[in-house]
Amino acid sequence: MPFTDRARIHVEGGHGGGGCLSFRREKYIPKGGPDGGNGGRGGDVLLVADPEQVDLSLFRHAVHHKGRPGMPGEGQGKHGRRGDDADVRVPPGTRVSRDGEEIARLDHPGDRVVVARGGEGGVGNRAFKSSTHRTPRETVPGMPGERAWLTLEFVAPVDGALVGLPNSGKSALLHALTGAAATVAPYPQSTREPAFGPLEDEFANLYILVDLPGLAEDGTPRKGDHLLQCRGARLLLHCVSEEDPEPAADRIARVREAIAPYRADDAVEWVIATFSDPDHPPAWADYAVETELDAGIDRLRVAIADHLGEP
């Protein structure tokens, strides 16, 4: 299943159970009083942050989520049971919006939020009895639950993100830094999926890096890009190939513009020259690597860990 960081789901609270119309029937008592009970409330739909979920791919097929209906009231004054809630499990790091407005964030495991309330249960005829109204026949039906279309957005908990144009050496660098196997190939757009890799420092601290292949050659986001994942990163490693004949400044500007809407405002960006010589980095770069020769990788790894390890 491809990595999924956006989903649309429909949620609907359970219908409230109906109020009951009933009169007591007992032997030798011809006209028993009203005894219809109330209906139970419908179940709510909740989103629950569950660390076992790693993305939103479940919701490619599971679109509709409903609370269970409340049970109707019964005779002998019995109230209907409340409908069960529907717990919809999302990965921690999920934001929820409705009509373009954020309504909830589930950042930590166990966070939960009601997104559609179940309908109120109805009222049975017993509740309408009074000294002047001894045989009420009125009842109130159960109410429908709330419904809504919601947009879910998931940002994976990463520390750093590798961004850049196709063929700028992102996947090769992720592999060199973390050992994670992202597809490395000498043709653009060979990878469509973000790849995650753990960078380990000398104290066995782990920092998660993600390779984001979302940009096209011209710097525009491609369909199915996962640039949203930039938002989680505190450090952006902007890979720029020194082999490319187009001026680096132009390419750098293009990528910055493309990721601007997604990146966290306080994220730090480093320009990493790839296909380069770590001993003679170009003026426009913060770091330089020659990934094929494993040159400059250790220095960069230490710098990344130092930066991310700062409180």
Size of the site for Mg ion (CB under 5 A): 4
Residue 241 CB, shortest distance to ligand GDP, in Å, is: 7
Residues 201-220 that bind ligand GDP (CB under 6 A): 213
Strand order in the sheet with 206-211: 195-200, 206-211, 160-164, 235-241, 268-274, 287-288
User: Per CB under 5 A, does 168 bind Mg ion?
Assistant: no
CA 49 vs. chain centroid, Å, equals: 9
The answer to whether residue 225 forms part of the interface with ligand GDP (CB under 6 A) is no
Q: How far is the CB of 54 from ligand GDP (least distance, A)?
A: 22
Q: Report, in Å, the least distance between residue 174 CB and ligand GDP.
A: 8
Q: Which is nearer to Mg ion, 2 or 309 (CB)?
A: 2
Report the site for ligand GDP in 243-302 (rule: CB under 6 A).
274-275, 289-292
One of 213, 214, 232, 296 touching Mg ion (CB under 5 A)? 213
Give the integer Cα–Cα distance in Å for 174 and 239. 11
Q: How far is the CB of 181 from ligand GDP (least distance, A)?
A: 12
Residue 139 within binding range of ligand GDP, rule CB under 6 A = no
Between 100 and 186, name the residue whose CB sits nearer to ligand GDP. Answer: 186
- How many residues in the shown chain lie near ligand GDP by CB under 6 A? 21
164 binds Mg ion (CB under 5 A): no
The entry of ligand GDP, Mg ion, none that residue 172 binds, CB within 5 to 8 Å by partner kind: ligand GDP
Residue 238 near residue 271, CB atoms below 8 Å: yes
* Closer by beta carbon to ligand GDP, 86 or else 288: 288
Establish if 167 lies at the interface with Mg ion (CB under 5 A): no
Q: Does 185 bind ligand GDP (CB under 6 A)?
A: yes
Would you tell me which residues interact with ligand GDP (CB under 6 A)? 164, 166-172, 184-186, 190-191, 213, 239, 274-275, 289-292
Would you tell me which residues interact with Mg ion (CB under 5 A)? 170-171, 191, 213
